[in-house]
Amino acid sequence: MGIAPGSSLVTPRSDLGLAFEELDLDAIRGGYVGLQIAPVAEVGKAFDQFRTLKKTAALQPRRTERNQDGSYQDLTADFETDTYACQEHGVESPVDERTAAAHEDLIDADMLAAELCRHAVIEAHEMRVIAAINAKSAGASAAAVWSTDSTDVASQMNGFIQTFRLANGVRPNAICMDAEIADLLMENQSILEKFVGASARTAKDIRLDGLAAALKLDEVIVANGVKNTAAAPLAWSGSAIWPRDKVLLFRKETSPNLVRRQFMRTIHWAADGSRIGGAFEEYEDAKRRCRVMRCRMDTTEKIIHADAGMVIDSIVS
């Protein structure tokens, strides 16, 4: 008989979770951007409805003059109803007791199994977020490729930002791009001109905060994640997870409020013991004479306002 997820035979391993840094720091260091594009929103139910405010109603001019009878103007909110349904994602890794004992002075078998499981859960979240973005049609195309350092990327971004603002009623505050593109932009003449002036323009003088300022945004998110695209498990063919030929210009929101104009959130249900980054558990498998490490997370990746994320393509040839 298998071990059910909620079985009393399963032992929580919160100590393994404490051994890792917070997920956002760990994921950023590994080059993952899923939780930066889709920040966490905690919910009390595994599936439910939620409401978002229509921009047509929110930004419509209103009369504010007091009526002659002493009353004030009534305001009514116009909402759209949407739904979410969290799904549990998790993996397990067996730790053979004999092998673990033989190598315990060199390898912490429990920690290694936990690290492998956690990486799988985080990577799967990353892939789901990027798949949702890849499914979007491009909202704009670069007039000239950004891979040429003489291209006036700063002026192009001015146009994209204004198009976004008029379409959404708010400015975008973040952009996500592959690390290769970020490196190219740090050598772009129009960016360096705005950041360090006309003299001493060198790529080493600019950092991400300077790049964001030159692009007139709050944040530049750099995707560094790499995946193995080879079919055989022992072969290697590295490829960037984020598509190098496009960027995402979007409105990022980190507050619990889903009503505000925003692009995407990671909706997380924690009532069943889930944690962002994965809840660790273990159980004994007597048949295989091993203990099994498990990492699981209960989320869904939800686009809140599709038009609050603009995909810009044709940025490289």
pLDDT value of position 70: 87
DSSP 247: E
Q: What single letter denotes the amino acid at residue 66?
A: R
Q: Is 273 left (phi over 0), alpha (psi -120 to 50) or beta?
A: left
pLDDT value of position 23: 46
Q: Tell me: the pLDDT tens digits for 257-271?
A: 888 899 999 999 999
- In order of 102, 146, 157, 172, 186, the CA distances from 215 in angstroms are 55, 13, 6, 11, 11
d(CA 174, CA 263): 11
pLDDT value of position 76: 74
d(CA 74, CA 62): 9
Q: Tell me: the pLDDT tens digits for 145-196?
A: 999 999 999 999 999 999 999 999 999 999 999 999 999 998 898 988 876 5
Threshold 0.75, pTM exceeds:
yes
**Fold category of 11-53+81-313 in CATH:** phage-related protein like fold (3.90.1690)
Provide the residue ranges of all domains of the chain, joining segments of one domain with +. 11-53+81-313
pLDDT value of position 102: 61
Query: Residue 204's pLDDT band (boundaries 50, 70, 90)?
Result: very low
Rounded to an integer, the average pLDDT of 68-76 is 84
Residue 26 confidence (pLDDT) above 60: no
Higher pLDDT, 4 or 46: 46
